[in-house]
Structures are given as structure tokens and as C-alpha cells.
Chains A and B, each alone.
Chain A
Amino acid sequence: MDGTIGSKGLVKKTELVRIITDALISLGFNGIAADLENQSGVNLLDPTIKHFLDLAERKEWHNCITLLQEEGLQVRDEKVARFLLLEQTFLDFLKDDNLDDALNTLQEEMTPLGVKRRRLEKLPSKFVFPDSGEERFIEVMRKLQKVFPPAAIVPEGRLVRLLEESLYHQMRDCDYHNAPDTDMSLCFDHCCWKSKIPSKAVQTLVGHTDEVWFLKFSNNGKYLASSSKDNTAIIWEINAEGGAFSMKHKLEGHEKPVVEVSWSPDDQQVITCGESEVIKRWDVGSGQCVQTCGRDDVGSISCGWLHDGSGIIGAMADRRIYLWNLDGTEIEHEQGQRGQKISDVAMTSDGKWIVSVGREQNEISLFDRVTRGETVIQVEGMVTSFSLSRDDKYLLVNLITQEIHVWMIDGRREPRRVYKFSGHKRSRFVIRSCFGGYDENFIASGSEDSQVYIWHTDFERGPCCVLPGHGGAVNCVSWNPTDIHMLASASDDRTIRIWGLDLE
């Protein structure tokens, strides 16, 4: 079995047979693997090396040394190989309290080899501290395997690893990749280009009687909550078959436009925020209002949940942030006044930070409730709205300058801006954007020109998709967290559009 196979002359036939043999063994086909070795005449592992490794597994170091000398095993550096084996005998002598033999090995056999000086210097201390820095046996075996030339031993699962690398490269090369991992196949090269980005309006939801200002999918992707200038919020539910949405509950009770709806972490409840009014908590199953919280002296601007669903956060018109327990009692919160009235408020899902506009208008503050410390991000303009990624690592900020900035806030390093996007229109209203798609690599945004804009984070230069269709400004978008092919948009034209794949 000489020579290579394949058009590029890079794949040696013997190596191909060996990694297939290893793959067959890992699939459980030991019999077929043995047949392959027999029929091809190519061994997965050279028998002498196999013998050596078997002896090493049984810790028969002296036999290993003998094998090394007599059989003329191909090794990278014979002296290093001897050193490693002698080191193991030295350690064994110490364990048996055989100090004379240990010293003899060290002085007469290991030192003259003239290799691994640093390691050699550490060994005398083992006479005094025999238990310090003991290596695990796996590590010892690994070192011994490295004694042989690289191609002598096939790492376990090598073929699968090569195939995975190839698939991973296909995914990396696929611009605007938005296909689930199950779409990847060994049988053909993957390239979805823009065909897997939701771009067709598959459903229009009618139910609000005035502008729809906000919407958000539930964490489990089965519900969509929307809120409107018509003073109501609506919970929509996806049907099991067909996948179309229908109205589950209309949440009535606010006397002002509802500016925001937020899902509890377990999707059992939502909170709604009336414009300069109160915050109401509702049960999703029954559609009933279970709590109203707010302050007598000042109205609400935005709302959010504590990360564990144990309380509610509200940003109020006096530019302060307040916290309430589910029983309505206020929780003390020390954070100074915000720089502007309109401020979103959110808590990261790990409970680390409360995010809001900072004390100055061009800032976002990340407030740590445990240390009471505030990390401040200076952005290049006033913040009109912001949104967190699901893994809390990224913050998307909408600026008054019509730009969308993405900051990395993963907590272990200083926050820094990583992307800038533009192309959509925002000059009068609060327009919202969100993360979404495969690995949250996409940004979607509403726009005052009635279109939905979508960018991919690898391509800042311009939006990859612009979706017309709405009859008024698109105020808010939400990407389904469990279905990367579903996007929803809310518009001044009183409708909500569900966008899906264009299957033509």
C-alpha cells in the first residue's frame, strides 16, 4: 500500500487505512477493524511500539528500557526516552524506600545522559519530599507516547476530528450562516449564503387598535408579547401544527400607552410598563393582572425582571431606578439619578449587573448590586434604547446619531466597543434593535422608513437584508430565541409581522 490517494497527493494510503481502522474501533466494529488490518497489511500501531506501550501500562520499566535498546525502536531522541523511563524507575525506588538504588539511578544513569537538566535539578528534592508534585499516570503515558515520531501513533478519534474541522471551516466560510447544526452534512459542502435569513412575511398579526411600540418572544420561543399605544398588551401563542400565531390574551388595565413587556425567566409571567404610569404583573396562563406596582409621586418609564424572577425593576420619570419584591414591598436601591428621563433598564441573566443609562447622557452604567460599584461605558452619543445578548456578553446600544453600537461586556475585561452598524433611519422615535440568528451573530433593527434592517456581525459595512412591507415606522423587532428562522416586527401601522424563510 504505497503512495497517495486523492487529487492533491497529500493523503498517504497507509495513513488513511490506519485512521479508518481507528474510526471503526471507536464505532464498535473491532472485528472489521481487525479484518482491515489483515487485508491491507497495514497495522494501526506498529507491533513493537504496541508491545512497548503495553509494558509501560504495566509499569515494567526495565523491560521497556531493554526493548528500547535491543529492538532498535524508532524514537525521536533516544536519550530523552531513556531519561523518562529511568525517571519512573527512580520514583518507584523512592516509593519502596530503596534510597540506595534511587541515588544510584540518579547519579550513574540519569545524569550522564545530559538531557532534561531542569527536570534533573528538581529530582533530588524528592528524597526529602517524596510526595510533592506527583504526576498522574495518564500524563506519564502521554509523555511516553510523545517519545515516538508524530505519525507513529494515531490519536483516538482522529478521523472524526479531521471531518469536524472541515465542517467547521465550511461554516466559517459561509457568509451570513444561519442554518442549524443539523443541516451540516458530510455528503455535500455547506453554503447557505443569505437564503436562511428570514426575509418573507409569513404572517401579519392584527389585534392592536393603535401603533405597536414593543414586542418580545418568550424565552422558550412559544409565545410573543406585544404592547401598544392602544393601552393594551397582547400575548400571542404559536399553534402546534402549522406554526401560526393566534391571540391568547389581551392584557387590559393600563390607562396609558404600554411601552414595554418583559418575560419572567420561567415565561409564566409578564410585566408591562405604562408610559409615565405604573408597572403591572400578569399571569400568562390566565391573562389576569396579579400585581400593580409603582410610585404615587412619579410615573414609570421602563421595566425589567430581577434575573431570578424574584422582583421587578422600574426606571421612573424622576430618573431614578426602583426595585420591588413580588409582594409589592420596595427594595432599597442606591443608585444616583440617571442622565436622562428615557432609559431602558435590564438585569443580566446571571444577576451580576443592572444595566441602564448612566449619570450622564452619553453613558451606560453597569451597576453591581453586590459591590455597589458602577462600571461606566462612554458611548458616542445619547442612548435611545439598548438590548443585551442572551449570554450577557454583548450590549447593543441604539444612539441618537442613527448608529447601532455593540459593546463587549463579558466582565472579565474592560468593556469595549466591537462593532458599529448603520443604514437604518432614526430621527424622532425610540427604535429598537436586537441580537438573533445563529449564535446571535445577527443584529435586527426597526427603522422609521417602515423597513426591518438586518446586519451580520462579520460585515459592518452595511445591512445584509432590508425587509419592506410595513405601512409605518417599525418600532421594535424580536428574534425567536429557539427558532433562528423566525423574526417578528412591530409597527406604527398597528400590525405585527412574522418573518420566515423565503422557500423559493
Chain B
Amino acid sequence: ILIGFWNKKKRKERMGRLFLVNLEGKSYSCRHCKTSIALCDDVVSKSFQSRHGKAYLFSKVANVYAGKKEDRMMMTGMHTVVDIYCVKCGSYVGWRYEFAFEKNQKYKEGKSVLERYKVCGPDGNNYWVAAQEVEAGESDTDE
């Protein structure tokens, strides 16, 4: 009886007709639904960190939508960021820099970070996270 009750409560996710961009070439995809999100050619830096470990900075990504703007203190200073989510399944994949307070961080504006844990590599391989402490605040870095 309890199971039936929960089924009634669970609201089916409303979708609309998705607009998906097709990416040509080697690309990273959403780990859950395999939608292509970014081209390998668009990687700017592989030295970023997120709470789940490695993260890559991309000049541009596709098939994502953004959440609310937030000011976050990263390892390299204060930034205004938006979290980004896969358009198809809605899972969180990373964040985009909207504004950098420090001059030498300005190059990040408009670029996006994808958490390596949340995407499949171009050969379909995943990144497995070892059990580790969740860092307080967000991570960041660059070279």
C-alpha cells in the first residue's frame, strides 16, 4: 500500500520537445543519458578541481542549461558562476563562469567547467571517484 502511495506522489518529469545540438567529432557526453556535451577540441585546461575530483575547463559546451547566478569563493578568488545541467536528463555536469572579480581570472568568463566524474570520455570511459572528503566550499584552479 505504501509503494502505491509513493508512486502516486512521484511527479513525471515534464519535458517539452528537446532541442539537441549534434556535435561532430570526439566529444564528452553526459554520464547518465549519453547526450554529447562538449568537443575534445574545446578543452582549454585539464587542471581544474571540483568536489568530486578532476574537472576540465572548456571554451564552449552544448546541450546544457543553466541554474541561478551565484557568487562563489573559489581557490583563485571570488567568481559569479551558474551551475549547468544536461538538457536531456537534468543531471548536474559542472558550472560556467559568468564574471571573475580578479583581473587575472577574467579569461575564464564565458567558459565552462565539466566535472570529469559527471561525463563520459570520448572513448566512453568513465572516471571513478575514490571515497574522499568533500571539500568545504567549491574548488577551482588553473595553471
Looking at B14, B21, B65, B66, which has the most chain A CB atoms within 10 Å of its CB?
Answer: B14
Q: Mark B11-36, 1 if CB is under 8 A from A, else 0.
A: 00011111111100000000000000
Min distance, Cβ B58 to any Cβ of chain A, angstroms: 17
Residues from chain A with Cβ under 8 Å of B14 in the complex = 211, 472-473, 492-493
Q: Give Cα A492 to B21, complex, Å.
A: 22
- Besides A340-B22, A342-B20, A472-B16, 6 more A-B contacts (Cβ < 8 Å) are A229-B17, A361-B21, A382-B21, A429-B16, A429-B18, A475-B17
**Is B87 engaged at the interface, CB distance under 8 Å to the other chain?**
yes
Cβ contact within 8 Å between A211 and B15: yes
B19 and A473 contact, CB distance less than 8 A: no
A interface, over-half SS = loop
Q: Which residues of A contact B (CB under 8 A)?
A: 211, 213, 229, 257, 259, 275, 340-342, 361, 382, 384, 400, 427-431, 448, 472-473, 475, 492-493
Q: Which residues of B contact A213 (CB under 8 A)?
A: 16-17
What residue in chain A is nearest B12 (Cβ atoms)?
Answer: A210
Known contacts A340-B22, A341-B22; A427/B65 CB under 8 A: yes
- Give which listed residue, B19, B21, B22, B66, contacts A429 with CB less than 8 A: B19
Can you list 10 pairs linking A and B with CB atoms under 8 Å apart?
A213-B16, A229-B15, A275-B17, A341-B22, A342-B20, A427-B65, A429-B16, A430-B18, A472-B14, A492-B14
Task: Collect the chain B residues with CB atoms within 8 Å of residue A382's CB.
Answer: 21
Distance of A448 Cα from B87 Cα, bound (Å): 13
Contacts of B21 in A (CB 8 A): 340, 361, 382, 400
The residue on B at minimum CB distance from A259 is: B17
Are A384 and B16 in contact (CB-based, < 8 A)? no
Given the complex, which residues of B lie within 8 Å of A492, measured CB to CB? 14-16
- Of the candidates B19, B22, B65, B66, the one whose C-beta lies within 8 Å of that of A430 is B19
- In the assembled complex, the CB of B118 is this many whole angstroms from the nearest CB of chain A, namely 17
The residue on B at minimum CB distance from A382 is B21
CB-CB under 8 A from A342, the residues of chain B are 19-20
In the complex, A46→B21 CA distance in Å?
A: 76
Report chain A residues within 8 Å CB of B20.
Answer: 341-342
CB distance from B23 to the nearest CB of A (A): 11
Cα of A322 to Cα of B65 in the assembled complex, Å: 33
Which residues of B sit under 8 angstroms from A430, Cβ to Cβ?
16-19
| Number of residues from B at the complex interface, CB < 8 A | 12
Choose among B19, B22, B87 the residue with the greatest number of A CB atoms under 10 Å from its CB: B19
Alpha-carbon gap, A475 to B17, bound state (A): 8
Min C-beta distance of B9 to chain A, whole Å = 17
Write the chain A residue with the least CB distance to B66: A427
Question: Chain B residues with Cβ under 8 A from A493's Cβ?
Answer: 14
Q: How far is the CA of A400 from the CA of B65 in the complex (A)?
A: 11
Query: Which residues from A are CB-within-8-Å of B66?
Result: 427
Q: Of B17, B18, B19, which is within 8 A of A400 by CB?
A: B19
List residues of B (81-108) whose CB comes within 8 Å of A's CBs.
87
In the bound complex, how far is the Cα of B6 from the Cα of A201, in angstroms?
A: 34
Whole-angstrom CA separation of A197 from B65 in the bound complex = 32
CB distance from A168 to the nearest CB of B (A): 42
Chain B residue numbers with a CB within 8 Å of A259 are: 17
Contacts of A448 in B (CB 8 A): 16
Residues from chain A with a CB closer than 8 A to the CB of B18 are 428-430
Task: Give the distance to chain A from B73, nearest Cβ to Cβ, in Å.
Answer: 26
Provide the residues of chain A in CB contact with B15, threshold 8 Å.
211, 229, 429, 492
Q: In the bound complex, what is the Cα–Cα distance between A441 and B127 (angstroms)?
A: 53
Whether A211 and B19, one on each chain, are in contact in the complex, defined by CB atoms closer than 8 angstroms, is no
A213 to B66, CA, bound (A): 23
Q: Which of B16, B22, B87 contacts A473 (CB 8 A)?
A: B16
Q: Is the CB of A257 within 8 A of B17?
A: yes
> How far is B66's CA from A6's CA once the two chains are assembled, in angstroms?
63
Which of B16, B21, B22 has the most chain A CB atoms inside 10 A of its CB? B16
- For residue A446, which residue of chain B has the nearest CB? B16
User: Considering the chains assembled together, what is the distance between the CA atoms of A211 and B22 in angstroms?
Assistant: 24
Q: Complex: how many Å from CA A427 to CA B21? A: 12
Task: Tell me how far the C-beta of A206 lies from the nearest C-beta in chain B, rounded to whole angstroms.
Answer: 16
Residue of B nearest to A493 (CB): B14
- Cα distance, A428 to B14, chains bound together (Å): 12
Closest 5 CB pairs of A and B: A429-B16, A427-B65, A428-B87, A492-B14, A430-B17
Instruction: Give the complex CA separation of A213 and B16 in angstroms.
Output: 7
* Distance, CA A230 to CA B63, complexed state (A): 25
CA distance A97 to B21 in the complex (A): 81
Q: Which of A259, A342, A428, A492 has the most CB of B within 10 A?
A: A428
